[in-house]
Every structure is written in C-alpha cells, then in structure tokens.
Amino acid sequence: MTKKRNIVVKIGSALLANQELLTPRYGFLQRLLEDVAQLRSEGNDVILCSSGSVALGLRIIGETPESAGISDKQAAAACGMPLLLNAYKQVGHEFGFEIAQVLLTLGDFEDHRRFLNTRNTVARLLEAGVMPIVNENDTITTEEIRVGDNDRLAAKVAQMVGATDFIILTGVDGLYDRNPDDPDAVFIPEVTDVGPYMDATKGKSTLGTGGMETKLQAANMAQEAGVTTWIAQGEVDRPLSTVLNGSRRATKVIPNPNPLSGWDSWIANRLQMAGSLVISEDTANAIANDNRPIRRDDIVSMDGDFSRGDVLHIYDSKGIERARGLSDFTSEELRVLTNNPDTDAEQLLGYKTRGEIIRGNNLVMLETRHLLWDAPPAITEA
C-alpha cells in the first residue's frame, strides 16, 4: 500500500466481548492492534469506532443483554468503558502507540459547529500520532437523543474525517443475498446500490444494537461521501490489511464517483429526523431543476418540533422523500407563517426576513443513490 489511507474501522461488541463471560477478548485485540500498528507504520491514519462498553459492564451490575433496560445499559456503559479503554491501552502500548477516547452524542453530529469541533479534535490527535477510539456516550444518552447504532456513527466519522476506507468488522464474511444460515445464500462481493439488499438484512446480534441492515445504511452514507466501505469477518489474523490488499473475501461497497461536498453530505446524511415538510409535486420538480428555495406558500403540511438550523426531510404529495434542507425557522415560527399566508412575514415574526424556509444553497436533492426515509405517519395521513 503506497498511497496513504485514512481508515475508519467499526468493531462490533461480539468481537470485543466474550458472549458468555462478558469480559474483553484480548486475543482479538492483539490481532487487531498488531495490524493497526503495521498500517500506521506504513503512514496510514487509523480511527477505531468501538462498541463493547455496555457488554463489558453488564456483568458488573448483575445484568445480561436480555434483561438490561435503558438505565441498566447506561450504568453498564459507565462500568464497562474503563475496562474497554484499559484493554485497548494495554495492548496498544505493546505495539508502541497511544490511544485517546472520543465520546460523542447525536448532537455532535447533527449540530454543524459541534461536528466541526469534533473533526478538529480528531485531526489533532492523528497529527500527534495518537489513535482516536470513538464511541457513543452511552452513559448519558436516552432513546430520544442517541445515535442508536455504532455502524452509522462510524459512517458519520468516516464522512467527518474524509476517510478513504471504512471497514466494518463483524461476525460474517460480508453481505449475502439472504440470511447466510440459508444453504442457498449467495455471497455478494461488490455492491454499487445497497437498496436491493435491504430486505435481506433484518435481525441483529445478541450483544450489538445493529445487524446487516444498519451496516448497509452506514455503507450508503459512506459511499455518498466518496468513501469505500468494506464489510468483513473480524475473526482472522491481520483483519484490516487483508481486506485492504484483497487477500481475503469481503464485500466492497463502491463509493459514488461524484460524491457530495462536505456541506451537502452533512445535510443529506442524517442520523435522526428533526422534522419534515410536504410540498407539491410541481414544487418538488421546480426545486430539483432550478435549485430555488422553498417558500412558505410551497408547503402543504409539516411535522415535528424543530429549531432553526435543523435539517428537515422534504416529501412530495405522494409521500416520496425528494430532498433534505436546513430550516431558517423554528417549527413554531413556521406554523405561524403557514397559518397566515397573506400576512407579511416580518409583521408576523417581529424581525426582518425574506421568508425563505430553506435557502437553495442549503437544500440537497436526493437522487436514486440515497436510501430514502419513510414519511412520518402524520404526513402520510394528511
């Protein structure tokens, strides 16, 4: 490997924690970090997005993956994170490098300023030769404010740092056209469009929060940012370099040859829906062709409680998602504007505004290459 690579690696809980004892799997960590050390010695940057803190902490609080509720998992994460980081630190020192912990929440990805601050921190760590280990801050997150799975979290990190490669290490050797337990299942070595495979990916592991479905969602986010994704078995020697040099089987998800800009990628690749709008079919076609803004008289209906600067999902009258864009108004302000269409916006809101709900340069049209989100029930019932 002569060209420098910026590699983001997502590691599932089942690889890091013994499923029966709920203790660190040091053998796996040895193989992983030995490979990381080799990649780093060749001039590559490596960032780990690691699950495992909840799994490692469950035994300490007397719970199991099946019995643990939200508060149990938060407490388990608080107990398990020191164990996880200590294991990484011990093994990392054997190979001569330092590690750092970066704990993130949903807001660190969805708020653009925090997104950039996080990117700068990770860049500074890499500059100092320190390997960042990223995880969701499970000790404080609730269902309403959490990413929910480390696959998509890792994809956002890959987008954030402009990664060349995004490797998802898991318990199978890649994507199949159906459940790999089926004797007729066919391995898929290369994917350009993840959409046709989504129905074959339901289910998740005992210790993890995501299955192959979230891995394909993550891969789609990465490919739209121009990142090559690899889905591969983690239980091998040299689990990373053997994927990158093509010496073993893995599923490669091809990046889009015309990736979105950093700004457009941040807008388009969401982890949670803040709110949504329905516009007419004619308006949807107009903004696609002319890159014009969405105005209040374009809006048929809306859903959600959102703030100024939140990204909204835009649907046409058939319930098909057409675009995502940055709102210039809060949901309360927008309701006032749409409920009083004949009254001047400045008079309604008390400050000067052009009344553009989403400006053209803050609006990203979704092409067929994106995985679209289903419209909220409030919209489909409207």
The per-residue DSSP string of 302-330 comes to EES---TT-EEEEE-TTS-EEEEEE-SS-
Q: Which residues of 312-348 are buried (b: 16+ CB within 10 A; e: fewer)?
A: bbbbbbeeebbbbbbbbbbbebbebbbeeeeeebeeb
Place of tokens 């057409």: 322
Where do the structural domains in the chain lie, given as residue ranges? 6-264, 274-380
Q: What is the mean pLDDT of residues 209-234?
A: 90
Q: What is the mean pLDDT of residues 209-213?
A: 70
- DSSP label at residue 353: -
> Which residues, 6 or more positions from 244, have their beta carbon under 8 angstroms from its beta carbon?
1, 5, 7, 39, 165, 167, 230
Place of tokens 């409030």: 378
| CA dist., res. 199 & res. 180, Å (int) | 14
Tokens found for residue 320: 């098909």
Q: What is the mean pLDDT of residues 172-196?
A: 90
| CA dist., res. 124 & res. 118, Å (int) | 10
| CA dist., res. 283 & res. 294, Å (int) | 8
pLDDT in tens, 56-65: 999 899 998 8
pLDDT in tens, 286-313: 998 888 999 999 999 999 999 999 999 9
| CA dist., res. 191 & res. 3, Å (int) | 23
Cα angle 191, 193, 199; round to 5: 95
Task: Read off the pLDDT band of 379 (50, 70, 90).
Answer: low
pLDDT in tens, 140-159: 655 444 555 889 999 999 99
In terms of Cβ atoms closer than 10 Å to its own Cβ (0-12, 13-18, 19+), residue 355 is middle
- DSSP label at residue 375: P
- Phi, psi at residue 278, to the nearest 5°? -110, 130
What kind of architecture, by CATH, is found in domain 6-264?
Answer: 3-Layer(aba) Sandwich (3.40)
In terms of Cβ atoms closer than 10 Å to its own Cβ (0-12, 13-18, 19+), residue 368 is exposed
Task: Read off the pLDDT band of 353 (50, 70, 90).
Answer: confident
Cα angle 187, 192, 194; round to 5: 70
CATH number of 274-380: 2.30.130.10
Q: What is the mean pLDDT of residues 172-181?
A: 88
Strands 275-279, 299-303: pairing is antiparallel
Q: Is the pLDDT of residue 13 over 80?
A: yes
Q: For the chain, give me the number of helices (H) and strands (E)?
A: 14, 17
| CA dist., res. 172 & res. 164, Å (int) | 23
Strands 275-279, 311-315: pairing is parallel
Q: What is the pLDDT of residue 179?
A: 82
> Which residues, 6 or more positions from 4, have their beta carbon under 8 angstroms from its beta carbon?
43, 44, 45
Tokens found for residue 149: 């799975």
Q: What is the mean pLDDT of residues 93-113?
A: 92
| CA dist., res. 264 & res. 225, Å (int) | 9
Q: What is the pLDDT of residue 141?
A: 56
